[in-house]
Amino acid sequence: MTVSALSRGLWLIFIVAVIIFLTLPIALVILFSFNHSALTSFPLTGFTLDWYARLFANDSFWPALWNSTIIAVAVAVLSVATGVFAALALARMPIGRAGVLMSMLASPMMLPALSCGSSACRSVFTPLFSAIS
């Protein structure tokens, strides 16, 4: 085997491994949502839509979904509008000054979980953050 074939093989193994690492956990959650047993373990015990039926029948599910939707839409509209105005302004500034201002405006991104330790940010940032993620 040549060196380049070996390196291509190693890259392929690495890429496949990362993709499995990134997607498998979420795929498992989806898979087990159709599984009969309440336990998340193999072997699968049979296909069911029962969990979804129970979720939709749950009285607190629909208001919660509605609240999430309102918050998500409001956050998206407000942040995109604010962001567009800021980006238009930054694009017309000297590049150095724009860079500094942009790092300043982006700084809350660096500290969400950190500042969420403090209660003000727990009331202000956590709802924003979980709506995004």
Partner 1 sequence: MNMRSWALGLLPAGLVWVGLFVAPLAYFFAIGFWSVKARIMRPDFTIRNYIATFTDYGDVLASTLMIGLIIAIATTIVAYAFAYAIRFRTGRWGNALLLITLITLFGGYLVKIYAWKSILGRDGIINNALIGMGLINEPLTIFIYSAGGVVVTLTYFLLPFAVLPIYGSLRAIPDDLIEAARDLGASPFAAARDIVLPLCERGIAVAFLLTFLISVGDYVTPRFVGGGAAMMGHFIETQFSFGFNWPMGSAMSFTLMAVSLLIFIVIRKLLERAVRP
Distance between CA 122 and CA 115 in Å, rounded?
8
> Taking CB under 8 A as the rule, which mask of x and - marks residues 109-128 in contact with partner 1?
xxxxxxxxxxxxxx-xx---
Q: What is the distance between the alpha carbons of residues 18 and 28, in angstroms, rounded to a whole number?
A: 16
Strand segments, DSSP code E, in 2-127 are: none
Relative orientation angle of helices 61-91 and 95-110, to the nearest 10 degrees? 160
Q: If binding is defined by CB under 8 A, does position 13 make contact with partner 1?
A: no
Q: Which stretch binds partner 1 (CB under 8 A): 27-35, 44-52, 53-61, 69-77?
A: 27-35
Distance in Å, CB of 26 to partner 1, minimum: 5
Q: Which residue in the block uniquely carries the two structure tokens 């000297």?
A: 94
- Decide: is 65 part of the binding site for partner 1 (CB under 8 A): no
**Percent helix, strand, coil in the chain (nearest 5)?**
80, 0, 20
Q: Please say which residue, 1 or 104, places its beta carbon nearer to partner 1.
A: 104
Q: Does 104 bind partner 1 (CB under 8 A)?
A: yes
The residues of the shown chain that bind partner 1, judged by CB under 8 A, are: 11, 14-15, 18-19, 21-23, 25-26, 28-29, 32, 39-42, 81-83, 85-90, 92-93, 101, 104-105, 107-122, 124-125, 130, 133
